[in-house]
Structure 1
Amino acid sequence: MSLFTTDRVLVPIDFSDESFQTQAETLDFVQDPTQLHIIHVLPHLNPAEPGMAWGTIDDQTRKENVLKHLHSRLPNAEQEGVTFHVAVGDPSSEIIDYAKAQNITLIVISSHGFSGLKRFLLGSVAERIVRHAPCPVLVRRH
């Protein structure tokens, strides 16, 4: 018997080595790649950014570029049936909304382990997800 269910497991990726390590360990735990969902959340663009002002970049282009980069970092994941999703907005809100929409049963997230002033100024996405997620959250600290 397992403490956590392995149906529809969500792993947020922020392109840090820790998040990719968390993804790899979660895939080993789940053992069925079709049950693994990977999400990356892009911040909103500032309208004053040169790409926005010149009309050369938009959210759709950014999402496509992130998906290409994810597929290059995880080349076998797509063939194995892993679900990729890229959202734009506040990371914790987007992750929680995706978990609700996809009926996710477990979120596995890496924590960067900030403390003190750095944590106060940067906030903690993992902490907000733990507090508001509709399912159990496993925080992997490095």
Structure 2
Amino acid sequence: MASRILVALDESPQARAAFRHALSTYPDAEIHVLHVNDPREWSSSDGMGGFYSEDAYERTQQSAEQLLDEAAEIAREYDAAVTTNTTVGKAAPGIVRYAEEHDVDHIVLGSHGRRGLSRFLLGSVAERVARRSPGSVTIVREEQSDREA
């Protein structure tokens, strides 16, 4: 069984489901939770494309810190401790780089469930991570309802 697990966490329900999956499936593992702060989210909306607002960056950092605090609270529900971290960059390369630098055995992440043409046009972070990961990857689509469990 994998001993060091990386969970990529954003605000999506799929990412939260992936985090809960990792906590319940790997109770004895060292779990790292990573949020990648993408610079495209800090772009100015004043028409000066390519300009990055310091205020927008600060807001995304505060949002990331709150998300990671929530992750620590969820981990306590499972009597688990997690290591949390943020990095700046594009999601897929940031996740793979973190996994390589921290000797991660397994990555767990959520899928946004795009299908058909939109998947090909927009690309898939999960797919790119799965192709480039130094270890195995589990992609969690969504939380199961009580009826499915």
Q: TM-score, normalised by structure 2?
A: 0.76
Asked if residue 67 in structure 1 is aligned to residue 26 in structure 2, the reply is no
For the Cα contact (< 8 Å) 2:33–2:85, is it kept in 1? yes
Secondary structure, aligned partner of 1:56 = helix
The alignment covers a number of residue pairs equal to 134
Name the residue aligned to 2:147: none
**1:73 & 1:103 partners in 2: Cα distance?**
21
**2:122 & 2:70 partners in 1: Cα distance?**
29
Residue type at the aligned position of 1:42 = N
Could you tell me which runs of 5 or more consecutive residues in structure 2 were left unpaired when the two chains were aligned. Answer: 143-149
| Identity between Structure 1 and Structure 2 (%) | 30
Q: Deviations over 1:103-139 (max 9, x none)?
A: 0000112212211121122210011011111111112
Could you tell me which runs of 5 or more consecutive residues in structure 1 were left unpaired when the two chains were aligned. Answer: none
Q: Deviations over 1:82-101 (max 9, x none)?
A: 01111111100000000000
**1:12 & 1:121 partners in 2: Cα distance?**
22
Residue type at the aligned position of 2:102 = Q
Name the residue aligned to 1:6: 2
Give the aligned CA root-mean-square deviation in angstroms. 2.5
Q: TM-score, normalised by structure 1?
A: 0.80
**2:57 & 2:18 partners in 1: Cα distance?**
30
Task: Return the offset for 1:21.
Answer: 1.4
Secondary structure, aligned partner of 2:55 = coil
Alignment of 1:69-108 (within 5 A): 69-72=67-70, 74-77=72-75, 80-108=80-108
Secondary structure, aligned partner of 1:127 = helix
**1:133 & 1:84 partners in 2: Cα distance?**
19
Secondary structure, aligned partner of 1:75 = helix
**2:141 & 2:56 partners in 1: Cα distance?**
35
